[in-house]
Amino acid sequence: MSILIIAEHDNANLKPATLNTLAAATQIGGDVDVLVVGSDCQAVAKQAVQAQGVTRVLLADNAVYEYQLAENISKLVIELSSAYSHILAPATTTGKNMLPRVAALLDVAQLSDVIKVESADTFVRPIYAGNAIATVQTSDTVKVITIRSTGFDPVSAEGGNAELVTLSQVIESQKSRFVGEELAVSDRPELTAANIIVSGGRGMGSGDNFKILDGVADKLGAAVGASRAAVDAGFVPNDLQVGQTGKTVAPDLYVAVGISGAIQHLAGMKDSKVIVAINKDEEAPIFQVADYGLVADLFEAVPELENAL
Amino acid sequence: MKILVAVKRVVDYNVKVRVQADHKAVELANVKMSINPFCEIAVEEAVRLKEKGVASEIVVVSIGPKGCQETLRTALGLGADRAVQIETEEGVDSLAVAKLIAEVAKTELPDLIIMGKQAIDSDNNQTGQMVAALLDMPQATFASEVVVENGEAQVTREIDGGLQTLAITLPAVVTTDLRLNEPRFIKLPNIMKAKKKPLVVKTPEELGISISSNVSVLSVVPPAERQGGIKVGSVAELVEKLKNEAKVIA
């Protein structure tokens, strides 16, 4: 068996989700190749070479791949596919965008958001916003799978010694072009990789009020997240959203502040090790999953918490 | 231009689903079903494009048992012009659904195909991308803004780091994110009008598409129960517990 992983990166750094995906691949077994496709992304390939468990790093470095558009990258993956029994990508927005296109071109099904490997053809994935867990078996010749990073502990980013292979194929994307992007900037740890997350919900009342979470987050070295209600109300940008339609997280500590705990939100965070809820409504569903609940006005409790840390 | 919108009938998002006792599937008997929220947003976007004079006709398609005719009527009530149901049993996989939609698109020849980014039952987030691949069309997934002009669509997408804008040449496939729009309520007269709008029923056989799947569900189980914990009386007690009991902060 041979496995191809499509690396998640921003042309400068290999993203941690790739290391979680490598862990899943290791459980499937067989040689693991990592495809780094982008523009001016030599540094990413070097990082991939050092990751544990990688046999070869395939580098496709060309300006046409700069924004990782699904249209041409899927065709590149298809050209490589005949050598592989499994094609994996992290279940990030990039992976989710690209991989079903690969699957359809190969005329095979795709398994999304896999959280557990049972065997080389049997996998576990959540359905219904995480309210049911399905075990599925596929007889497709090539198994195309996105991996939920929180389901697998990452492999070490160091100590590997893969062979670096440079690919020459250049496939242009003719019908899709990049116009612009607005990326949120933050000094804090990345949401999906943070050990501690402090999240705010509708109870925060306004975007300005989110600043009171910053003090706590800074003291804990935590990332700041948000519920869909807070994002929809325009308090914070959508890339902070935790939930079924946002990011899935599983930190050691998740502090939910002013979040009621709708199913949609729980789907994104209920695998956290310890959950703390601060909410003035003691009937809020979040208390049913919280290890420690504090019924209090968040505008008093949060500054008090900051001082206590 | 013509817009094709795909809609799915799913368990209503407010329902707390239960797993069947035999662990084969989720209980669907006597459970409230509704249009998938992302699909509703797709229909709303198509209707808005028609109201702006960009689109001239909206065709909605749904795949599944007879019950999905209700979902199609909902879409017609929202403002779609006509509907196509492809009658199948429950549980057709994404690839087969994509093939059926692509086949409908080959006869309808839409300039734009709009679909939800994912169904809230299977949570796959695959079908739109697969339809685009099968038709060799460009795609813009997770859209939060769509502007159609000069034979292309400028689509703002929600990506992990923020937002990205792509320009895709029509015909193309767009999948909707939650922030694209807020679907309207259907007024009673529109429900009445929707009953008179054309709805044709086809079968996968008529379209020449096999819906067999290479994926089988071995079991469906409830997730591990998370026990509710304790309530603490003060911030000081909370910090003490996190330090000494849970040991998650130093």
Which range has the worst mean pLDDT, A56-70, A102-116, A285-299, B220-234? Answer: B220-234
Q: Label residue B248 by pLDDT band (50, 70, 90).
A: confident
Helix (H) or strand (E) holding B93: none
Is it the case that residue A49 has pLDDT exceeding 90? yes
With beta carbons under 8 A apart, name residues in chain A contacting B13: 263-264
* Neighbour-count burial of A185, counting CB atoms closer than 10 A to its CB (0-12 exposed, 13-18 middle, 19+ buried): exposed
Chain B residues within 8 A of A265 when measuring between CB atoms: none
| Residue contact A183–B162, C-beta within 8 A | yes
B217–A contact, CB cutoff 8 A: yes
Runs of H (alpha helix) within chain A: 16-28, 42-50, 70-80, 93-106, 211-220, 228-232, 263-269, 298-308
**For the residues A11-37, what does the mean pLDDT come to?**
97
pLDDT at B249: 84
User: For residue A190, is pLDDT > 90?
Assistant: no
DSSP state of B74: H
Nearest CA in chain A to B14: A263
Contacts of B210 in chain A (CB under 8 A): none
- Give the mean model confidence (pLDDT) for residues A289-294: 96
pTM value surpassing 0.80: yes
Question: Binning pLDDT at 50, 70 and 90, where does residue B246 land?
Answer: confident
How high is the mean pLDDT of chain A?
95
Q: For residue B19, which residues of chain A lie inside 8 Å, CB to CB? A: 132
pLDDT of residue B42: 98
**CB-CB under 8 Å, A134 with B167:** no
Total residue length of chain B? 250
User: What ipTM does the predicted assembly reach?
Assistant: 0.94
Question: What's the mean pLDDT in A102-122?
Answer: 98
Q: What local confidence, expressed as pLDDT, does residue A182 receive?
A: 93
Asked whether residue A145 carries a pLDDT value surpassing 90, the answer given is: yes
Cβ neighbors of A77 (< 8 A, separation 6 or more) are A4, A6, A35, A87, A98, A102
Report the b/e string of A72-88 with b at 16+ CB within 10 A: bbbbbbbebbeebbbbb
| Lowest-confidence pick of A159-163, A166-170, A253-257, B159-163 | B159-163
CB A141, CB A108: distance < 8 Å: yes
Contact A176 B140 (CB under 8 A): yes
User: Higher pLDDT residue, B192 or B91?
Assistant: B192
Per-residue pLDDT tens for B150-161? 999 999 999 988
- Which positions in chain B touch A151 (Cβ < 8 Å)? none
Query: According to the model, what pLDDT value does residue A186 have?
Result: 78
* Among candidates A109, A139, A180 on the partner chain, residue whose Cβ is nearest the Cβ of B93: A109
Per-residue confidence band for A231, with pLDDT thresholds at 50, 70 and 90: very high
Sequence length of chain A is 309
Ramachandran bin of B107, using left for φ above 0, alpha for ψ from -120 to 50, beta for the remaining angles: alpha
Question: In B, which residues are within 8 Å of A132 by CB distance?
Answer: 17, 19, 26, 220-223
Question: Which of A34-48, A256-270, B216-230 tops mean pLDDT?
Answer: A34-48
Q: What angle do CA A75, A38, A42 make, to 5 degrees?
A: 135
DSSP structure class, residue B222: P
Contacts of B124 in chain A (CB under 8 A): 100, 110, 112
Check CB contact under 8 Å for B19 and A308. Answer: no
Residue A188 to chain B, least CA–CA distance (Å): 13
Compare CB distances from A139 to B26, B140, B214 and report the shortest one's residue: B214
Residues A84-102 have a mean pLDDT of: 97
Percent of chain A with pLDDT over 70: 100
Q: Are the C-beta atoms of A195 and A251 separated by less than 8 Å?
A: yes
Q: How does pLDDT run across A31-47, given as a tens digit for each residue?
A: 999 999 999 999 999 99
C-alpha distance from B175 to closest chain A C-alpha (Å): 10
Four-point Cα dihedral B160, A8, B118, A228, nearest 10 = -20
User: To probe the interface with B, which of A97, A179, A302 has the most B CB atoms within 10 Å?
Assistant: A97
Residues facing A110 on adjacent strands: A144
Q: List CB contacts (< 8 A) between B173 and chain A.
A: none
Judged by a CB distance cut-off of 8 A, whether residue B15 touches chain A is no
For residues A229-252, average pLDDT? 91
Q: Which one of A128, A147, A178, A228 makes the best mutation probe of the B interface by having the most chain B beta carbons within 10 Å? A: A128
Place of tokens 């690969």: A102
Residue A165's Cα: distance from chain center in Å? 27
Residues 59 through 78 of chain B touching chain A, CB cutoff 8 Å: none
Percent with pLDDT over 90 in chain A: 90
pLDDT of residue B227: 81
Rounded Cα gap, residues A71 and B139, in angstroms: 8
Q: Are B151 and A226 in contact (CB under 8 A)?
A: no
pLDDT attached to residue A184: 80
Strand-strand pairing, B152-159 and B215-221: unpaired
* Tokens linked to B12: 């209503």
pLDDT at B151: 94
* Interchain proximity B94–A110, CB inside 8 Å: yes
pLDDT of residue A67: 96
- Structure confidence at residue B91 (pLDDT): 84
Closest approach of A125 to chain B, Cα-based (Å) = 10
Could B231 and A287 be called an inter-chain contact, meaning their C-beta atoms sit closer than 8 Å? Answer: yes
Closest CA to A126 of B213, B19, B11, B122: B122
Considering only CA atoms, which of B52, B104, B51, B102 is closest in space to residue B80? B51
| Chain B, nearest residue to A254 by Cα | B248
The span from the CA of A252 to the CA of A240, in Å, is: 18
